[in-house]
Chains A and B, each alone.
Chain A
Amino acid sequence: MKPTIQIIAFGKVAEIIGSVNFTMEHMASTDALKKYLLQLFPELAKVKFAMAVNKKLITTDAPIEASANIALLPPFSGG
């Protein structure tokens, strides 16, 4: 079986993608994943979003292990 990753999206990003949760083919890094998502959903270029790999917020390009959970996080607005 080919390696996969789990994507979980929130807020405006989930709205653009039209899905909150999905599984996709493995991507080697967060930059590669972002590029792929922007190709698939050009509307994403209009929103800011950060990524978390296995619940850890990442600030620069980070490697992605097979089966990782990647969260797509638009700017926080709680409280």
Chain B
Amino acid sequence: MEKKKVKNIFIEGPIAASFIAEDIAKHSNKKNIGAHSIFLGQVRNDMINGQEVKAIEYTTYVDMALEKMTEIREEIFAKYPLTCMHIYHSLGAIKAGEICLFVFTSSERRRAATDACNEVVERIKNELPVWGKEIFTDNTHQWKENTI
């Protein structure tokens, strides 16, 4: 079997709105695309036992995460007629209000882009070895567990 190239998805720090805008602009020359779907994950200032989350610090098992992401990417491309798919996940401390996940799918018609985008986000949350440490305003912390 042909071994697919493993693409990095991790970037240090938050994902800037300008980065997202530039990524959208790059697709204007792909004129067979009729629909884009974008999911942006933003760090939420949850209140936990009277303490406010000021940031989430993300770490990953990078080798395993990128292997798993390659597998997810192949399965998504096999399932949906996508033109392209781009995924970026932050590492390090991301403040409340900043963007930590950017999933961008494109297709000729809208259903493939929206369905694939939703499925990829769910799979990233459930299957990628990434951990979020919730840092409170008094600098104590707890380890996050994903909920719906």
Contact = CB atoms under 8 A, between A and B. Distances in A.
A and B: interacting chains: yes
A12 B64 CA distance: 18
Chain B CB count within 10 A is highest, among A12, A52, A73, A76, for: A76
Interface stretch (B13-21, B46-54, B105-113, B140-148): B140-148
Contacts, number: 64
Contacts of A8: 61
B122 to A, nearest CB: 9
Contact of A76 (B63, B100, B121, B129): B129
A79 B89 contact: yes
B38 to A, nearest CB: 14
A15 B100 CA distance: 23
Contacts of B67: 55
Contacts of B61: 8, 10, 52, 55, 71, 73
B115 interface: no
A59 interface: no
A18 interface: no
Contact of A11 (B41, B63, B101, B133): B133
B7 interface: no
A11 B143 contact: yes
Interface of B: 41, 58-61, 63-64, 67, 89, 100-101, 121, 124-133, 143-146
